[in-house]
Amino acid sequence: MSEETKFDVAVIGAGPGGYVAAIRANQLGLKTVLIEKRKKLGGTCLNVGCIPSKALLHMSEHYEFAQHSAKANGIELGSVELNLGTVMKKKDKVVSGLTGGIDMLIKKGGITRLEGHASLKGNQKIDIDGKEIQATHIILATGSSIVELPFLPFDGEKIISSDHGIALKEVPENLVVIGAGAIGLELGSVWARYGSKVTVVEFLPKIAAGCDSDISKLLEREFKKQGMTFHTNTKVTGAKEVDGKLIVTAEKKGKEIEIEADKVLVSVGRKPYTENLGLETVGVETDEKGRVKVDAHFKTNVAGVYAIGDIIAGPMLAHKAEEEGVALAEMLAGKAGHVNYDVIPSVIYTEPEVATVGISEDQAKEQGIDVNVGKFPLAANGRALATDATTGMAKIIACAKTDKILGGAIVAKGASEMISEVVTHMEYGGSAEDLGRTIHAHPTISEAVKEAGLAVSKSAIHSL
Ligand code: FAD
Ligand code: NAI
């Protein structure tokens, strides 16, 4: 094998896990190749995930404001029309701007890029559509794919996934969303703002199931005000065509219900993507969910083969994949890479946004951890009142014995930005008192986070 086809590190998959690992490995002097089967880099996140969905959320929020709130803010707009074509073009432009940016980083950094489907061949060899390369360290970062319901296979027209849901050509009149997780709530919000009658069906008793019950209730109440309908504790059983109309059937408290739909968005989770990767060829072990098994150093059971991101256990989040990419590259370069799994924030970018980190109050109870909880409602925050953003709260969960912050949740406009403060306090082992005594600019919504810190010891100033 020639020197050109021999590398220190080969990364398979150029999502946030893979491209970040490649950049960091290259920075640390390792000869790196990045292999991606898509034409564009950035993986699910940039192409069909985080970025296009956030662009749509942003644009639909403007539309919603123009339609329902502009007048109350002294803006007389006359009739408001939606041009969905422009919306989609802008979203695509955002995506290509970013994927192009990653392209530039890879090229300018001097990382070799190969386009094609990679599969493991053994002896540290990888086949890429007939071309063979070799690497001392192989990083699997092939991400995840969409879960399909066997009785509702995707047809891209009526039964759709998030890939289709971010690229609709017209606003569906009736959109049924199956699954009230991150995708269901975010894309459900987008299409509800654009005028769809959105009905969300969730198997579990509450929406945004990872959140505390008080937060799930608050969100459900708010989304209902925004026009969405929810059926929790409800199991979808199938769909049928009646007089050209699609009817979704579901079971709610032992009774069958029927919901009319023009489109059904199935958002019931994602699964690790390892198709034709050659895991069996080299004997890489997976767990019961098909995730590649790794140790604390991202090593699989096969020497020289590692895995990060959505294909291994843990939350399927872009920033988790990125941190793993950095940590692994550092380990391979002989440094001490590390990911703090106790402090990974998670956000649902609805209106209001919900951002959480660490353990929830419910989890603390389940795990028998003695905690003090401080809450502060946004209705008591000056900036929130001045900016029509009073729906929500900040919540801090601290160890009853030491006051160390164990978790936090923020439901607010801009919660995704505000949660970083709680993350930082947790990263440095901060206490609720530390947070409560940190000076925050006034007036800001993040003063609610400070007050929640104070509320842990019942010393909030602006609420009882
Ligand atoms: P991926 O991003 O999936 O990248 C894997 C890449 O590997 C892909 O480009 C794929 O083409 C390539 N590949 C696979 N197999 C091969 C092969 N054999 N050879 C060559 N290439 C291969 N997360 C957040 O943190 N915040 C969000 O706001 C957010 N929003 C989302 C919205 C939606 C609609 C979706 C679907 C997901 C969202 N996510 C979000 C999740 C996020 O996209 C993933 O957690 C993240 O992309 C995982 O990164 P990864 O690098 O592990 O894999
Ligand atoms: P999810 O796991 O977040 O939510 C799926 C929901 O569907 C769950 O509440 C589950 O109980 C429900 N469900 C499962 N089967 C069902 C059924 N048969 N009938 C009714 N409900 C059912 O998965 P989602 O929303 O598809 O997202 C996939 C992944 O993408 C997640 O892991 C998430 O982390 C990531 N993502 C992250 C975002 C963010 O960080 N803002 C945005 C979008 C996706």
The residue nearest atom 37 of ligand 1, judged by CA position, is 49
| Ligand 1 in reach of 346 Cβ (< 6 A) | no
Domain identity same for 348 and 438? yes
- For 325, list phi and psi in degrees, rounded to 5: -60, -45
User: Is the beta carbon of 36 within 6 A of some atom in ligand 1?
Assistant: yes
Q: Are 229 and 188 contacting, i.e. CB atoms less than 8 angstroms apart?
A: no
The reply to whether 30 and 137 lie within a common domain is: yes
* d(C-alpha 77, C-alpha 62), whole Å: 13
* pLDDT value of position 315: 98
C-beta of 87 in contact with ligand 2 (< 6 A): no
**CB-count exposure of residue 364 (10 Å: 0-12, 13-18, 19+):** buried
- What pLDDT is recorded for position 306? 98
Phi, psi (deg, nearest 5) at residue 29: 90, 10
The stretch 20-45 carries a mean pLDDT of: 98
Ligand 2: which of 211, 231, 316 to mutate, most ligand atoms within 8 Å of CB? 316
SS (H, E, C) the chain: CCHHHEEEEEEECCCHHHHHHHHHHHHCCCCEEEEECCCCCCHHHHHHCHHHHHHHHHHHHHHHHHHHHCHHHCCCCCCCCCCHHHHHHHHHHHHHHHHHHHHHHHHHHCCEEEECCEEEEECCEEEECCEEEEEEEEEECCCEEECCECCECCCCCCEECHHHHCCCCCCCCEEEEECCCHHHHHHHHHHHHCCCEEEEECCCCCCCCCCCHHHHHHHHHHHHHCCCEEECCEEEEEEEEECCEEEEEEEECCEEEEEEECEEEECCCEEECCCCCCHHHHCCCECCCCCECCCCCCECCCCCEEECHHHCCCCCCHHHHHHHHHHHHHHHCCCCCCCCHHHCCEEECCCCEEEEEECCHHHHHHCCCCEEEEEEEHHHCHHHHHCCCCCCEEEEEEECCCCEEEEEEEEECCHHHHHHHHHHHHHCCCEHHHHHHCCCCCCCCCHHHHHHHHHCCCCCCCCC
Same-domain pairing of 347 and 325: no
CB burial of 151-190 (b: ≥16 within 10 Å; e: otherwise) equals ebebeeebbbbbbbbbebeebbebbbbbbbbbbbbbbbbb
Number of domains in the chain: 3
Quick one: which ligand is closest to 266's CA? 2
User: Could you list the residue range(s) of the whole structural domain that residue 240 is in?
Assistant: 159-268
Quick: pLDDT tens for 170-187: 999 999 999 999 999 999
Task: Give φ, ψ of 297 to 5 degrees.
Answer: -110, 20
- Ligand 2 near 180 CB (within 6 A): yes
Does residue 132 fall inside a structural domain?
yes
Phi-psi map region of 398: left, alpha, beta (phi>0 left; psi -120 to 50 alpha): beta
Annotated active-site residue 338? The verdict is no
Domain-located, residue 385: yes
Quote the pLDDT of residue 243: 86
User: Which of 34, 36, 44, 350, when mutated, tests ligand 1's pocket best, judged by the most ligand atoms within 8 Å of its CB?
Assistant: 44
Residue 185 Cα to ligand 2 midpoint, Å, equals 9
pLDDT at 1 over 80: no
Report the phi/psi class of residue 368: left, alpha or beta, with left for phi > 0 and alpha for psi in -120 to 50.
Answer: left
pLDDT of 248-293, one tens digit each?
Answer: 999 998 999 999 999 999 999 999 999 999 999 999 999 999 999 9
Is residue 461 in a domain?
Answer: no
* Residue 292 CA to its chain's centroid (Å): 20
Same domain, 354 and 439: yes
Q: Is residue 462 part of a domain?
A: no
Percent of the chain topping pLDDT 90: 97
Q: 223, 251, 268: which is the final residue of a domain?
A: 268
Q: Compute, in angstroms, the gap from residue 39 CA to the centroid of ligand 1.
A: 14
Q: What is the mean pLDDT of residues 356-363?
A: 97
**What is the C-alpha separation between 404 and 430, in angstroms, rounded?**
6
Q: What is the CATH number of the domain that holds 363?
A: 3.30.390.30
pLDDT attached to residue 117: 98
Q: pLDDT tens for residues 220-229?
A: 999 999 999 9
Dist. CA 330 → ligand 2 center (Å)? 31
Tell whether the torsion through CA atoms of 323, 328, 329 and 334 is positive or negative.
Answer: positive
Same domain, 286 and 257: no
Is residue 305 situated within a structural domain?
A: yes
Residue 4 pLDDT:
84
Q: Is residue 460 part of a domain?
A: no
Question: Same domain, yes or no, for 232 and 276?
Answer: no
In a domain, 430, yes or no: yes
Question: Do 130 and 9 lie in a common domain?
Answer: yes
pLDDT band at 2 (very low <50, low <70, confident <90, very high): confident
My answer on whether 324 and 378 are in the same domain is no
42 is written with which tokens? 């950035």
Ligand 1 pocket, 18 CB below 6 A?
Answer: yes
Q: Which of 320, 339, 358 is the last residue of a domain?
A: 339
Q: Are both 330 and 401 inside the same structural domain?
A: no
Q: Which ligand is nearest to the CA of 185?
A: 2
Q: CB-side exposure of 115: number of CA atoms within 13 Å?
A: 5
Residue 129 · residue 42 · CB < 8 Å: no
219 in Cβ contact with 228 (< 8 Å): no
**Does ligand 2 have an atom closer than 6 angstroms to the CB of 316?**
yes
Q: Whose CA is nearest to atom 4 of ligand 2?
A: 181
> Of 248, 268, 288, which one is at a domain's C-terminal end?
268
User: In this predicted model, what pLDDT tens digit does every residue of 390-447 receive, in sequence order?
Assistant: 999 999 999 999 999 999 999 999 999 999 999 999 999 999 999 999 999 999 999 9
Same domain, 110 and 61: yes
What tokens does 149 get? Answer: 């319901």
328 and 289 together in one domain: yes
Q: Is residue 195 domain-resident?
A: yes
Band (245; pLDDT cuts 50, 70, 90): confident
CATH of residue 260's domain is 3.50.50.60
Cut 0.75: pTM above it:
yes
Are residues 133 and 195 both part of a single domain? no
Average pLDDT over residues 72-95: 97
